[in-house]
Amino acid sequence: MKRIKMGCTTLSIPAMALGIMRMNQKSVPEAQVAIQAAYDAGINFIDSADIYGGGKSEEIFGQAFSQMQIKREEMFIQSKTGIVPGKRYDFSKEHILHSVDEILERMQLDYLDSLVLHRPDALMDPEEVAEAFDQLQAAGKVRFFGVSNFDTAQFKLLQSCLSQRLMFNQLQFSLKHTGMIDFGMHMNMVDKPSVDRDSQFLDYACLHKVTVQAWSPFQYGMFEGTFIDNDGFPKLNQELQKLADKYEVGKNAIAAAWILRHPANIQMLVGSMNPQHIRDSAKGAKIRLTRQEWYDLYLDAGNYLP
């Protein structure tokens, strides 16, 4: 498994993480098979969130992992908080501290390697968040911190009040969700792709050594479904298959390789609980697409160059 530097540190993390959003749909033995498949492929990074499966995903993970032979210190375990489903986003100190205690209990852990704030809270008080982070770190409950779906200004605002460096920003990025790179190639144009919807965060991340974590790497829209083997995307799947045959892997590996080819050292989140899909996706970390192959996939995904 390809390894990358975590944020501004010298710590090494895998270029892929296993997202456990769908683990609530699995039995404990099935969850163990998925975790083991990821671990055997070099993916020793787990990404979760307190809302996944209403907390059930973390419960299943906790039960499964506690019975496995993998040592805790061999895994990097991350969870997210801040969404109260259907009610509000909540970055209050009280909510953050309470959520972490519940996460640790569900996952049967003494600490999280990383805590990520899930979606921007309009009522965020950066100084209150800083108090929560300081307390969690001092208590040994969280080692590192990050955010998810933050634009550059939101990221900089929060960072200005923290004593810790934010290591991550989790953002949607895939062959069918390319906004973070479209506008740069359409600079000075007036077409739709020229609109910057992400406040140039990818460039900011490169400049300031923030690890971007790409979620929904095989999805189109927002959880509308996968583009892999989808009849609605024939040109893209034809190109994916062509390259899969060349590199002797599956289509998932090629779609993953496309993300990891970007020089920002992106970490990709694999959300599948299918051991075969996990293993195939992991093979993408060993593939370095040529520039033309990368652009061919970009164009066949429905994009165009000015």
Phi/psi of residue 104, nearest 5 degrees? -60, -40
The whole-number average pLDDT for the span 143-153 is 97
Please state, for a pLDDT cut of 70, what percent of the chain lies above it: 100
Check pLDDT > 80 for residue 223: no
- Burial category of 207 from C-beta neighbours within 10 Å (exposed 0-12, middle 13-18, buried 19 and up): exposed
Q: Where are the chain's structural domains?
A: 9-300
Please state, for a pLDDT cut of 90, what percent of the chain lies above it: 96
Task: Give the pLDDT band of residue 197 (cuts 50, 70, 90).
Answer: confident
Distance between CA atoms of 1 and 15, rounded to whole angstroms? 7
What pLDDT shows up at residue 224? 82
* R_g over Cα of the chain: 19
CATH topology of domain 9-300: TIM Barrel (3.20.20)
Task: Give the pLDDT band of residue 305 (cuts 50, 70, 90).
Answer: very high
What pLDDT shows up at residue 222? 77
Dump pLDDT digits (tens) for 234-256: 999 999 999 999 999 999 999 99
